[in-house]
Each structure stands twice: as C-alpha cells, then as structure tokens.
Amino acid sequence: MSAATSATETADTAAVRRAIASTARPPRPGRLATALTFGWRGMLKVKHVPEQLLDVTVTPVMFLLMFTYLFGGAIAGSTSAYLDYTLPGLLVMSVLFTTVYSGVSLNTDLTKGVVDRFRSLPIWRPAPLLGSLLGDSVRYVIAGTVIIVVGVALGYRPDAGVAGAVASLALVVVFSFGLSWFFCVLGLLLRSPNAVMNAGFMGIFPLTFLSNVFVDPATLPGPLQAFVDVNPISVLATACRSLMDGTPDGVAIGVSLAVAAGLAAVFLPLTTRLYRSR
Amino acid sequence: MTVHAPLAIEATGLVKTYGDTTAVAGIDLAVPAGVVYGVLGPNGAGKTTTIRMLATLIRPDAGTARVLGHDVVTEADAVREQVSLTGQLASVDEELTGRENLVLLGRLLGLRRASARARADELLEAFGIAAAAGKLVKHYSGGMRRRLDIAASIVVTPRLMFLDEPTTGLDPRSRNHVWEIARALVAEGTTILLCTQYLEEADQLADGIAVIDRGRVIAEGTPGQLKASVGTGALHVRLLDAARRPEAAALLERAVGDAVLEADPAALSAQCTDSERAAVGLAELARAGIGLADFSLGQPSLDEVFLALTGHPAVDAPTGEPPTTTLEEQSS
C-alpha cells in the first residue's frame, strides 16, 4: 500500500471516529411525528419516481380521450354530452388505479429489506403504514386533479363548479384510503411487486368496466345490470356525478363512505397483523 | 475494560423452525461487551435467523435471549433502542438519495430537522459519500452502498451492532474500508456481532468466534484457539513454475513434513511445527533450482478449521452426515 493511500485511509478513520463518538441518543419522537416522517418519505418517492404517477394518470387520460371521441358520439349522441357523463367516472377510475400502488410500494419495501430496518427501530409500529398512506394521498390528489384538468380543457364544466369538483375529489380520496388497505394486504401476501400489480389490476380493471363509469347501465341485460348497480364503483361514480352536478345524492355518498369504512375495518387490522408477523 | 465485563448478548437454547425446516436448532451464545464477535458458518447454517431473533425482528420458537440486559421478546423496544442492523438484514431505501436516507433515519430516531441534516452531512463526509449525497441510492456502487448502509446504522451510535455479511461482493479496497469502520466502532465502545462466511474476515476482525453449522454452535473460541484445535501450522509456498510442483512436493515431504497440494496449481504446503525445519525446506527448494513466488509460515487457515470441524468445506452446500465432532474432541 502506498504512503498516499494509507494517509487518506487514516484521515477517513479519524473522521469516522469523530462521527461515531459525537452522538447522544435523543428522546424518542412522538407517534404523529413518526407517521409524518414516513409521510415525507412517501412524498420524496413521488418526486423521485414520477413514472409511477405517470402510469396511473396516463391510462385514464387515454381512456378519457378514446372513449369521448371514439365512442362518445355513439353512446351519448355527442362527445360533449358523453364527457359530461363519463368524467366523474373517470375521476373514480383514475384515483382507484393509484391505490394499487400502495400495495406495490409496500411489497417493494418488503422485498428490498427496508421494512426490516424500520422494524429494528424503536418506533411506533403502525407508523410506516400510516405514513406511506399520507404520502399516497398526495398521489391520489394529483391523479384526480390531472383528470379533472384534462376534462375541463376538453370542455367539461361541472354545474357545481370548483366546489363540486373538490367535493368529488375529496370523496374519491376518502374511498381510496379504505380501498388501499386491501392492496396493502395483497402487498404483504404476494411475492413480488409485479405480482401485486398484476393481481391488483386484474381485480380493479373488470370492476371498473362492469360499473356505470363508461355506460349507462339502463342498456345492459338484466343480470349484468343488477351487478353493475350494486358495484361499489358504480355507487361511488354516481355519488361523484351528483356532487359535480350540485345535486348531492345522499344515499350514494353514504354508501360510498360506508364501503370505505368497511374496507378499512376489515383490511387495516389484517394489514397491521401481517406486517407485524412478516 | 473491567474483568467482569457484562455480556452484550446472552442466548440460551434459541430455536426457530419454518414448517419442516429447522433453521436454528438450539443456539447458545455468550458475547462479551466491547468486542467483535464472529458468527461463522456457510450459507443456510442459521446465522441470519439467529441475528433476526436477537434483533427482535422475529420471535424465537424456544429459548431465551437477552441483549444488553433486555429480553428480546418481552423488552423488544428496549433492545431496539440500543442496537442497529447492517448488511443483508436491513437495507436503505434505493429510491431515495443517500442524504435523504440518513435524514429520514435521524428524524425517526428523534433528531430535530436541523440536527438530522447536520448529522447526515457529517456521516456522508466521514464515509466518503458526500459527493454522491444527492444521488439516488440505486445508482450507487457496491462499496458506496455498503458504506451508506453502515452510516445508516450509526446515525445514533448503537451500543450493539449486527453486521451481517458486510463485505460480500466488495472489492478488496472497499472491504478494507468496511473493516476500518468496524474497528473504529469497537474502539468507541460498540459491540459488534459479525456474521460472515468469510473465514478471513472473522480472522481479521473477531476477538471470539462461534462456528455455526446446521443451526447449532459446533465450536467456540478465539481464532487462535480454533486454529490450534486442528493441529500444527504449515509452510506455504507458491512456485514460479507450476509444472515443478510434484518435484517440490516430494522434496518438502523429505525435508519438512506431509505435503498438501493446494487449489492454486502453483501452491502447496507442508506440515511444519518449527521455523528451522521450514528454513531447511526452503534451502532445499533453492538448491534444486525451484523458484518461489511467495512463501509463508503460518497457522492453519480458518478454512481448514471449518473443514476439520464440520467435515465439509465452508463454502459448499452442506452434504453427507451431520457433524458429530466438537472442539473438545478435536483438540484432544
């Protein structure tokens, strides 16, 4: 080893020793502070991995353009009439697609070993899960905003104006909170992030199509119509339409919130249990 | 350090099974505070499972363990306050920058925003990754990544650090760097439990070693004791001309002792207890005109120790009979 190399090694060692020696353990942070720190981590991911956001926003925008201009005239008589009908539904679709990524990113953390680092820290156990959900909510809002803005650019004008759009977006985000716990369970059970993504979209894709997001169920055959009517995605889309139109449908809104609460009640405890035992 | 140094780790009869597989079959460990203690064994021997139990990541199925005086099951949070994990066990976030990772951990450990940032910068500087502080970790080189892993583990200096395979896949320079850091930690009073399958690494760093095979401790001692347990030392030579190895082997058999051909086609060794015999052997080789690239007189390597203890080489997948030898039997 040359003299120069050993000199730098020594310098490194001295700096390392200083760095090691200089710490006293601070008091443990509070639960909320810990969860917020994980929320900050979630936002950093939105910043560093914008592709994820692109994936989930481009698909609904594509559907918006395709359905409006290709099928809109045939389905609703004119593209503008169809845009009025389908945009609230596409808002639902866009944000719900984003929830799949809650499960995907949880699974990624597990496979990469980051979760083990968090679990070896003296922190409030559910903080990483709650925190990442906070980060996810930013993603939901962005995904929803993109679709509304594109809709407005294409000529969509909600009767209830900005207030209607904000109310719909808020409802969809709340619903997504509930649904995302289901994908967290998938994220904890399946082996790879890709498996979570495939399983997630395999579920959410048909459910979105078998709803009133794209077509008025009145034209559907009986049994299918029965299914579409009880599909929670239909109910949520109906609730959003009513908010956008300025004629809030109390039942649809209530049912949407109840479904979200039910999903959270079942899958949140399951998620924390699986997370702990993993 | 006092004579009655408290134990950093005290484990009795740890067992962990997964379905039909017994990963850890009753491990006892007594690790004194303030040292590097090596846990040595091949892949699948149960090293990582043992560490995961000691670090409170999984619960043992049977047995008990106290880490720095706290029970790993009933006082898990007290253990977590004083230990940190590095290596294969606990990773950093690849989708964040190096600096963000350290700030994140600082915040989670209770540092205020400004102190967390200052601490991150200090560590990045000390570990030679300041230039890449703003780069995403997934773009880091192996050595940088490993240093960041270690930096992440000492955002608040732990009293006990679990180092799992810290140098796997690193080039010699980065490896030495990691070893330097480990030594610096011990000098500052941290106890290190080092898991490795590299015998050289345990030899270089560890004050005490437990050899693990198939979920059990099969031997324990200092590196010197373990080597002594497999017998005498050897004269190792490396020839300039590999073709002359049979000739050299015959010569050393006569002049020194039993000769063994090593994996390197130009290298061989001869059993040898004293340096005078070794000198005679070297003189004989010189007289026969057999040129040497290198020679050394040494104790047996830990590789040989492992082979003697377990009946199979350290790096191979376990095969054949379960080992029945113990260190006591070996040394008698």
Backbone angles phi, psi at B271, to 5 degrees: -55, 135
Q: Count of A–B CB contacts within 8 Å?
A: 123
Q: Are B160 and B9 in contact (CB under 8 A)?
A: yes
| A8-34 pLDDT per residue, tens | 444 467 888 888 886 778 888 889 999
**Model confidence at B308, in pLDDT bands (50, 70, 90)?**
confident
Handedness of CA B45, B49, B53, B58 (dihedral sign): negative
* CB contact A11 to B (< 8 Å): no
Give the tens place of pLDDT for each residue, A226-236. Answer: 998 899 999 99
Task: Name the residue among A138, A71, A152 with its Cα closest to residue A101.
Answer: A138
Considering the four listed CATH numbers 3.40.50.300, 3.20.10.10, 3.40.50.720, 3.30.530.20, the one that applies to the domain covering B7-228 is 3.40.50.300
- How far apart are the C-alpha atoms of B218 and B330, rounded to whole Å? 11
Q: What is the pLDDT of residue B223?
A: 83
Interface of B with A in 89-118 (CB under 8 A): 89-97, 100, 104-105, 107-112, 115
Fold of the CATH domain B232-299: Alpha-Beta Plaits (3.30.70)
Determine whether B1 is exposed, middle or buried from the number of CB atoms within 10 Å of its CB (0-12, 13-18, 19+): exposed
Per CB-CB distance under 8 Å, the chain A contacts of B152 are 117
Please give the full DSSP string across B90-121, using - where no structure is assigned: S---TTSBHHHHHHHHHHHTT--HHHHHHHHH
Instruction: Return the residue in B56, B91, B95, B111 with the most chain A beta carbons within 10 A, the one to mutate for interface testing.
Output: B95
What value does the mean pLDDT take over residues B263-277? 82
Residues of chain B with CATH 3.40.50.300: 7-228
Q: Find, among B96, B204, B101, the residue nearest to B150 by Cα.
A: B101
ipTM: 0.81
- pLDDT over 50 at A134, yes or no: yes
Residue in B178, B297, B161 with CA at minimum distance from that of residue B233: B297
Residue bearing the bigger pLDDT, B315 or A161 = A161
Nearest CB partner across the interface for A112, out of B94, B110, B185: B94
Whether residues B184 and A16 touch (CB distance < 8 A) is answered with yes
Question: For residues B117 and B100, what is the distance between their CA atoms, to the nearest angstrom?
Answer: 9
Which pLDDT score is estimated for B231? 61
pLDDT in tens, B92-135: 898 899 999 999 999 999 999 999 999 999 999 988 899 999 99
Which of A2, A32, A45, A120 should be substituted to probe chain B, the one whose Cβ sees the most B Cβ atoms within 10 Å? A120
Q: Are B110 and A25 inside 8 Å of each other by CB?
A: yes
Q: Which residue of B has its CA nearest to A278?
A: B58
Distance CA B183, CA B163 (A): 12
Q: Which of A27, A45, A119 has its CB closest to that of B110? A: A27
Give A-chain residues touching B111 at CB under 8 angstroms: 26
- B12-51: per-residue pLDDT in tens? 999 999 888 888 999 999 999 999 999 988 888 888 899 9
CATH 3.30.70 boundaries in chain B? 232-299
Q: Which ranges of chain A would DSSP assign to H, the alpha helix?
A: 3-21, 31-48, 50-66, 72-76, 79-112, 114-119, 127-153, 161-189, 193-209, 222-230, 232-245, 250-277
Q: Which residues of chain B neighbour A19 with C-beta distances below 8 Å? A: 122-123, 125-127, 154
Confirm if A144 and A166 have CB atoms less than 8 A apart.
no
Q: Distance, in angstroms, between A106 CA and closest chain B CA?
A: 12
Query: Residue B243 is encoded by which pair of tokens?
Result: 């073709």
The whole-angstrom distance between B190's CA and the closest CA on chain A is 9
Q: Which of residues 115-134 of A touch B (CB under 8 A)?
A: 116-123
Which residues in A lie closer than 8 A to residue B87 (C-beta atoms)? none
pLDDT in tens, B188-212: 889 999 998 887 888 889 999 999 9
> What predicted TM-score, i.e. pTM, was given to this entire model?
0.78
Q: In the prediction, which pLDDT does B262 show? A: 79
Confidence (pLDDT) at B224:
80
Cα separation, A31 vs B184, in Å, equals 34
Q: What's the rounded Cα separation, in Å, for the pair B45 and B293?
A: 37
Task: Inform me whether the C-beta atom of residue B289 falls under 8 Å from chain A C-beta atoms.
Answer: no
Would the pLDDT of B332 be above 50? no
Of A20-24, A135-139, A218-222, minimum mean pLDDT range: A20-24
> Can you give the C-alpha Rg of chain A in angstroms?
23
Reference A43, options A118, A142, A185; nearest CA is: A142
Q: What is the dihedral of CA A237, A240, A245, A250, to 10 degrees?
A: 100
* Confidence (pLDDT) at B5: 59
The kind and range of the H/E element at B21 are strand B21-32
| 8 A C-beta contact, residue A78 and residue A169 | no
